[in-house]
Structure formats: C-alpha cells, structure tokens
Structure 1
Amino acid sequence: MSATIKDVAKLANTSKSTVSRYLNGLPIKKQTEEALKIAIKELNYHRNENARRLVVNKTQTIGIVVDSMTNLFYPMIFRGIEEIASEKGFNCVFYSMASNKYNESYFQNLYFEGHVDGIIMISFRKRNQQDLLDIADADIPVVVFGDSAGVDNLVSVDVDNNFGISELVRYLNRIGHRKIAYISGPSAAAATQYRLAGYLETMSQLGLEVKPEWIIPTNWSNEEGYNAMNRLLAIGDFTAVVASNDETAIGALRAVQERGFNVPSDLSITGFDDITLSSWTYPTLTTAKQPFFEMGKKAANELFKRMDEGEEYTPKRHLLKPELIIRDSCRKVSELISK
C-alpha cells in the first residue's frame, strides 16, 4: 500500500499537522524539515492532490491561455509568470486557442469547472470587446495580457507601445533628424494603432511634418519591411525611418544596403522589440526593448492579488515602459551634412 501522511509523521518522529504544514510550504523547524525530507524519500510518499483539493477547495494551479504557442515573445513572458507562480507554490497549465474553435471567454470554464484557481489570457491581437465584457461580468480571477479593448473593469497588463515609439522619435530628433518616415504594422495587431499614434502624436508635438506617403503598412515580416523600405526610397526626402518592429527594420536595412546606401551614414533606422537578432545585424539596431519578463511577473502578481483580495481588488490597466536601446544604426544629421 502507498505510504500515508501518518507513516511519514511516525518515521520523522513528528505530528501529522507538522507534516501537513511542511507539505503546504509553511515554516517548520529546520531539524524537523530535514527529518521529513528523509522520511518522504525513504517511504516514496506522494500526497493525494485530489484529496487535498477537496479539503482546501484549491487546485494550486493557474491557467495560461494563449492565442498561439508559436509567438517568439511568449517564452520570456512564461518565465516571468512561472517565477511568481513557483514562489506562491502554484503550477502553470497552458492552453492554446489555436488548437480549438473557442473564443477567450470560453476559457472561463477552466475556473468554473474547478481546473484552475485563476487565469492569465495572453494575446497581442486586437480583442473582441464583447468577449472581454463577458469575462469582466463573470467576476472571476482573470488577468488579460495585451489588448483590453477599452474594458475598464478588468485587470490587464501590456507594454506602453505609444511611449516606446515616442522615445524613438524623440531620440532621432535629439540627434538632429526632422524628416522621419514610419513603417507601420498589421491592422490585426492591437499594438499597431498605439505605435502609430505614438509616431503621429510625437511628430506633432515636436513640430515635425508628417507626409502620408512616409507611412507604409506591413505585416511585420522581414520581407514586407524590405518592400516598404524600397517604396520609401523611391519617395525619398527623409533622413530616418522608425520601423514599428525589429523584423521590418531588418528587412529595411537590407533594402538600403542593396541599393548601395549606408546605414547610418546615409540613413538612420530604428526598430521596436529588441529581438536577439537586432544586436547581431550590421550595423546593430537601435530599438525599444519590451520588458517581457517583467510583464509576465506583473501579470502573475496581479492575478494572485486578485485571488487573495477577491471583491476588494480594484482592476486597472498596467502599462510597462519599454527601454530605449541605442546601438549603431543611427547618426546625427550634423555628421551627415558635414560629409
């Protein structure tokens, strides 16, 4: 027969309540802790999770629902979530929307059916407002990562996309650029509208002209960044380009170099995201670094606060600031003119 908590207590010469405290992560005497570790190993004891859940009415599990497992930014977000979950003694279970036909509100059932104690929903796509209103109305422990679709009574975590692009435009202006073009992103991505707004608002605040033909939409791929840059080069009359992600910036960099121009001597280029490859391009890419690990930790911390505080918790939108990473793909306009 399998060893019981009573067997562990007897072998470690302690009480069942002390064993229970240890198994639930509560502090006990160091000497007793060591004795319990030895007893558990010797008896090959495994606690009955189903029985424990019936007693405490908790699963010690949070669900992480993602739009797709293939997004290259998700592993760092997951690390942040898992670090906090581990500190709290919780497990993480992952669910992919790509593998089924359901919308996000369907995954509330994970909580209602007792599979998880809370849920983090991650997507960088534009969300359906009614879907999020349904989630908010359910009043369960949920954190939305990414677009909140303007739903106020729901806790959400995202990067401040507007701020990140604004920082890039302001940096270029500080080093003398006044004619700055922009490579935009896909309409399906929630960040696209905020990044474009950051460009337009900052150009206006700095008193800089924006020509409509300087704004080129893309699907955020290397190829479309390459094509967008070729279109911009045919128009001309600018000294810098802000690409709204690193992949289009890398494609733009190749287009410029194939045309026989030099970055940054002839043209400055920036990206957004700080993917690994951005520090390996030639020249290395100035960009805005998204704090994915910190965002994951923030989402997890807010979820546990919501779980602990219940109705006392006040939901809000948390925007984390990206960091300006200055590398070699930009130069001062004064240096350009003097050559």
Structure 2
Amino acid sequence: MVRCREWERSQYRRAFASRGVWSNAGRPGLRHFGNVPEIEETRTGRRPPMGPTIHDVARLAGTSKSTVSRYLNGQQVKKATQDALEKAIAELNYHRNAHARRLVMNKTYTIGIVIDDISNIFYSGMIKGIEAVARRNGYNCIFLSWTSNFDKETSFLNYLYEGQVDGLILASFRKRNEEDVRAIRDAGYPIALIGDHCELEGVFSVDVDNAAGIEEVVTYLHGIGHRRIGYISGQNDLSASKYRYKGYRRTMEALGMPVREEWVVESDWTNQGGYEAMRRLAGEADVTAVVVSSDEAAIGALRALKELGRSVPRELSVAGFDDIPVAGWVDPALTTVRQPFRDIGTLAAEGLFRKIEGTENTPRSHLLRPKFIVRDSCGPAEWA
C-alpha cells in the first residue's frame, strides 16, 4: 500500500513538471502535502488572482491597517476617515474574509434568535432592535423557529455547544419551567431570555410588565363607570397570558368588582380565536366592557360584535393589548396597551453582547413598563 502511494505521488509530480508548474523549492503562498501541492494552479504556473485586501483599502484611504480593522469591526473612527474608507471599499469592491476573521478571533460573529413562530407580527419590532445592536457589534443574526421541529426551546442550546453561534436570544413567549431555565443558566454560555421575567439568580431576561398593563386598562374602564368587565384571555402556556390574567383579576378584586366564571373566556390570540370568544361572551355574559388580552384577538372580537349588531363603544367597550400597527386603523380605533417591542430587542441584544465580551458578571432582569393608549373603542358605561 505504501509503495503504491509513493508511485502515485511520483506520477503526480511528473505530470505537474511536464506542464511547467512544479517547483521542488516551492513558491510563496503555495501549500504542500509532502511535495504535492494542495492548490491546483493554472497551466501558466500562476495562482488565480486574489481580491483586494485590507492593506489595499488602507493604502487607498491613506490610513493604517489597524484603523481599517477597527472600522470593519464596528468601532468609531473620525468622520473624514470613515468617508475615505467607505470610498476605498466601494472603489476596490472589497469584501472582508469572514472565514479568516472567525479563525483569528475564535468567534463566529453570529448570534441565534430562537422564536416560536416567525410569522408572528409581535416579533418584527423586537427583531429590528436586536439586528441594530448586532450590526453595531459587527455580528450577523440567524433565526431559528422551533414550533414545528422541536418540543423545547432549549433544544437550540446545541448551537452554542457546537460553536455555531457566539450567543443565543431565546425569544419565545411561552412559559418556561424552572428546569429549562436552570439548564440555560447552568450552561454558562451567553444567553438572553425574552418574554419571561425569571426570578432565578444568574439569568439575564427582558420582559414587559404584563400585569401592570392590564391593571391600567381595568382601572380606566372602572373610572368611566364600568363595573361588569369581561375578559378574553390567552393560552395557559404563554407567560404573558398568565400575568395579564393575574393583572385583570387582581385589579377587579382591588376595585371591589366581581369576577364571574362566565365573564372570562379563553382565546388563542388569533383573529379567529378572538372572534369565537367574543361571540360566546356576548351571548352568555351581561357585561358592559371586555378586555381582550391581545390586539389580534381584539380585532376578531370587533368583527364578531359587528356581525351581532352590537355597537362599539355605545353598547360595549372593547380594549386590547400590544398596539400592533393595525390597531389604530380599525373602526373604531382600538384602545390598547403598547408594548415597547424594539426596546425589548435592544436591551436583550445589549445584555447578550455584554455576556459575549465578558463585561457583565451579574446578569439582571429588566421588566419594562408598557404604555396605555386611549382610542375610540371605549366609552362611558352609561352608553351601554
């Protein structure tokens, strides 16, 4: 076997020598395996031309290689220098060698964003916030959806273990059990949670104070005379749904209003779910106002009331939660609670990059206050 390989290698050398491209001494940049080159050259003996390098950019821009490197890595440079570098990069059609950069820095320069449903409108603002921070740090984002492929969000921790990403943002709004959160913390990798204000020490998370948002809605309705306030909830496995319902019940009791079983109907936070829940609620409950725990469901609820011939807000007041873009365009415009989606994404990404760079030793949770938005879908109780 050894003799056979030596014969093959000698034949390979002769073939290259007959074409005028072989040199035992080698040439700069030509890698060898034994005496056999790994890179095939042209018949002229010359290697294919290389693209422009960082040295070329520095020379054309009249600056140093280190300055070019700082600029490419997202660090601040003088405005005049930035203009010169952008002009040089465009003129040379320079593209950085991402593979070489990863090897030198021992980083992938990629973060993963794990979401449960990429089509969900709630994620758009949040993703914009994450991407802006990622670009500022010279990183790319990959999006991983686990709805149809994985039973648990934590399945994607393998992307970190295998070195495919430098950090993960777990953006599912489903309620995480303590075992999963503990596994995330104990993994010791850069991870940020969104949608669960976890109280476990050592876990970085960002969420909205969902209970406080619903409390504002119920308090407002109470203030304009409503005492029989119904509620359309979300799914039980959603963290936000759990806290919003808690806010509803707590505020109703604090203000001395009853909470009857027939006043609370579960939905799945879709237009169809809200439509079906409102038809059931309107037929069984004697309420003057309904708090719907998501705008998507609230829009379906408005459709149901229109079909039933119920005037909003003259016969029934309706409020939502999220302030999705269409909330201000439906008729009547929807009173709702605005979530700071972009701020959520920004804070989560900033926290993740602090962990990647090792500058945050004591992770902490952020609980953001939503904003109550009054529009046309709610009116005084005497109208009802």
The amino acid across from 2:367 in the alignment is L
Is 1:127 matched up with 2:176?
yes
Structure 2 residue corresponding to 1:275, chosen from 324, 345, 352: 324
**Tell me, which stretches of 5 or more residues in structure 2 are unaligned?**
1-48
Assess, with a 3 A threshold, how the Cα gap between structure 1 residues 9 and 151 changes in structure 2: closer, same or farther: same
With a CA cutoff of 8 Å and minimum separation of 6, indicate the structure with the bigger relative contact order.
Answer: 1
Is 1:234 matched up with 2:286?
no
Structure 2 equivalent of residue 328 of structure 1: 376
Is 1:153 matched up with 2:205?
no
Structure 1 equivalent of residue 35 of structure 2: none
Assess, with a 3 A threshold, how the Cα gap between structure 1 residues 5 and 284 changes in structure 2: closer, same or farther: closer
Q: What is the CA deviation profile of residues 237-270 of structure 1, one whole-angstrom value per residue up to 9, with x for unaligned ones?
A: 3211111112322232233333333211121111
Structure 2 equivalent of residue 60 of structure 1: 109
Is 1:192 matched up with 2:257?
no
Assess, with a 3 A threshold, how the Cα gap between structure 1 residues 13 and 252 changes in structure 2: closer, same or farther: closer
Is 1:162 matched up with 2:203?
no
Structure 1 equivalent of residue 301 of structure 2: 252
Structure 1 residue corresponding to 2:365, chosen from 302, 317, 333: 317
**Tell me, which stretches of 5 or more residues in structure 1 are unaligned?**
none
Is 1:80 matched up with 2:129?
yes
Q: Return the TM-score normalized by structure 1.
A: 0.89
Assess, with a 3 A threshold, how the Cα gap between structure 1 residues 263 and 12 changes in structure 2: closer, same or farther: closer
Determine the C-alpha separation between the residues in 2 that align with 1:16 and 1:317: 40
Determine the C-alpha separation between the residues in 1 that align with 2:59 and 2:275: 71
Determine the C-alpha separation between the residues in 2 that align with 1:184 and 1:321: 20
Aligned length: 335
Structure 2 residue corresponding to 1:104, chosen from 153, 157, 166: 153
RMSD of the alignment, in Å? 2.4
1:127–1:148 Cα contact (<8 Å) kept: no
1:68–1:97 Cα contact (<8 Å) kept: yes
The Cα of 1:88 is off from its aligned counterpart by 2.2
2:153–2:172 Cα contact (<8 Å) kept: no
Query: What SS does structure 1 have at the residue aligned with 2:118?
Result: coil
Determine the C-alpha separation between the residues in 2 that align with 1:32 and 1:244: 51
2:291–2:318 Cα contact (<8 Å) kept: yes
Query: What SS does structure 2 have at the residue aligned with 1:277?
Result: helix
The Cα of 1:142 is off from its aligned counterpart by 0.5
Greater Rg over alpha carbons, structure = 2
Query: What SS does structure 1 have at the residue aligned with 2:171?
Result: strand
The amino acid across from 1:107 in the alignment is F
1:64–1:94 Cα contact (<8 Å) kept: yes
**Within 5 A, what are the aligned runs for 1:195-234?**
195-234=244-283
Of stretches 36-45 and 251-260 in structure 1, the one that deviates more from structure 2 is 36-45
Determine the C-alpha separation between the residues in 1 that align with 2:282 and 2:366: 38
The Cα of 1:286 is off from its aligned counterpart by 0.8
Assess, with a 3 A threshold, how the Cα gap between structure 1 residues 199 and 4 changes in structure 2: closer, same or farther: same
Is 1:16 matched up with 2:65?
yes
